[in-house]
């Protein structure tokens, strides 16, 4: 029977023992790659579409294994991953870097990259160039941009080039200063009509779906009924075609006392578990409980004896 070359065996051994090996083992339950057609099929049979944000390899890895339909590399990473004050600070190159990291971990979910502020507003041509970079360099399947009627020509330019676009209406955080801060949109008849007008405009421009953020549930449900494409709600009630949350928020990966928007439900407490683990590690290192013999590599007794003899003779 043929045997593997010695170098191959050594390579496998080194890979297994590396503390920096990739985390990308296949999911225990394999599923087909989610595509635009998959999302349309979910929408047609009225099955809610699940979407969550991810900003790096580990956060995308767990989201993909959990079975998310879509993973968004949102510009919220400016705050939750880069420690910035708001989304206006993050630049295109940073978004592309994070998209690439997420893409490496995502085997099944449909991935979307946010176009950050300043990368698409000047002209449709600028937006198309940015979108191409996010898809080509970031390795995602679609892009997202904020805005309604005023950005319909931009969306049309991108979709005509064959790049799927996820729209975003209602509260548009990149424009917080022009709308008076992070305020609920569509609370008046005029405001609700504006949300509908924007949603219809991005649909006509070619969006495959649209995020509806911080809009009264009743308004979002009525807007959803008027559209042919799915709506993905965030703070817009359960009448939307699907939902999205920021992973850091919903998983509880933040210290106690941090502000959370009303629409966020915290499903876990990653911060508390991480604190417990790190504090235990610190304690065991200080007391020399860690590393225990089980965490060290053995050396043959005769080799150790010879090593000690050589040390004694050289000193």
pLDDT tens per residue, range 182-226: 688 999 999 999 999 999 999 999 999 999 999 999 999 999 999
Q: Can you give the pLDDT at residue 181?
A: 58
Q: Is the pLDDT of residue 228 over 80?
A: yes
Q: Is the pLDDT of residue 28 over 70?
A: no
pLDDT tens per residue, range 110-153: 999 999 999 999 999 999 999 999 999 999 999 999 999 999 99
156 is catalytic: no
Token pair listed for 143: 């892009």
DSSP calls for 248-296:
HHHHT-S-TT----TT------HHHHHHHHHHHHHHHHHTT-SS-GGGS
213, 273, 284, 302: which is the annotated catalytic residue?
213
Give the C-alpha separation, 286 to 268, whole Å. Answer: 30
Give the C-alpha separation, 167 to 158, whole Å. Answer: 12
Query: pTM (2 decimals)?
Result: 0.89
- First vs last C-alpha separation in the chain: 50
């Amino acid at each position: 029977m043929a045997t593997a070359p010695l170098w191959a065996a050594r390579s496998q051994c080194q890979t297994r023992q590396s503390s920096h090996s990739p985390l990308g083992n296949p999911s225990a339950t394999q599923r087909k790659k989610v595509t635009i057609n998959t999302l349309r099929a979910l929408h047609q049979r009225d099955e809610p579409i699940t979407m969550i944000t991810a900003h790096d390899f580990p956060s995308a890895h767990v989201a993909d294994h959990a079975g998310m339909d879509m993973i968004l590399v949102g510009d919220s990473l400016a705050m939750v991953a880069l420690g910035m004050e708001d989304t206006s600070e993050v630049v295109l190159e940073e978004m592309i870097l994070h998209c690439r990291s997420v893409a490496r971990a995502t085997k099944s979910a449909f991935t979307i990259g946010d176009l950050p502020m300043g990368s698409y507003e000047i002209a449709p041509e600028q937006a198309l160039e940015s979108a191409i970079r996010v898809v080509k360099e970031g390795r995602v399947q679609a892009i997202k941009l904020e805005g309604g009627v005023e950005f319909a020509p931009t969306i049309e330019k991108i979709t005509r080039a064959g790049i799927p676009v996820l729209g975003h209406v209602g509260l548009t955080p990149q424009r917080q200063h022009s709308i008076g801060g992070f305020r609920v949109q569509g609370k008046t008849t005029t405001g609700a009509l504006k949300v509908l007008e924007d949603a219809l405009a991005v649909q006509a421009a070619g969006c495959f779906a649209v995020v509806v953020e911080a809009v009264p549930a009743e308004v979002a449900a009525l807007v959803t009924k008027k559209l042919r494409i799915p709506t993905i709600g965030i703070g817009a009630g359960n009448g939307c075609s699907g939902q999205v949350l920021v992973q850091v928020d919903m998983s509880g990966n933040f210290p106690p006392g941090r502000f959370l928007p009303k629409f966020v439900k915290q499903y876990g407490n990653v911060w508390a578990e991480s604190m417990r683990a790190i504090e235990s590690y610190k304690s065991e290192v200080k007391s020399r409980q860690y590393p225990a013999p089980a965490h060290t590599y053995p050396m043959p007794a005769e080799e150790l004896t010879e090593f000690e003899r050589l040390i004694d003779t050289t000193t």
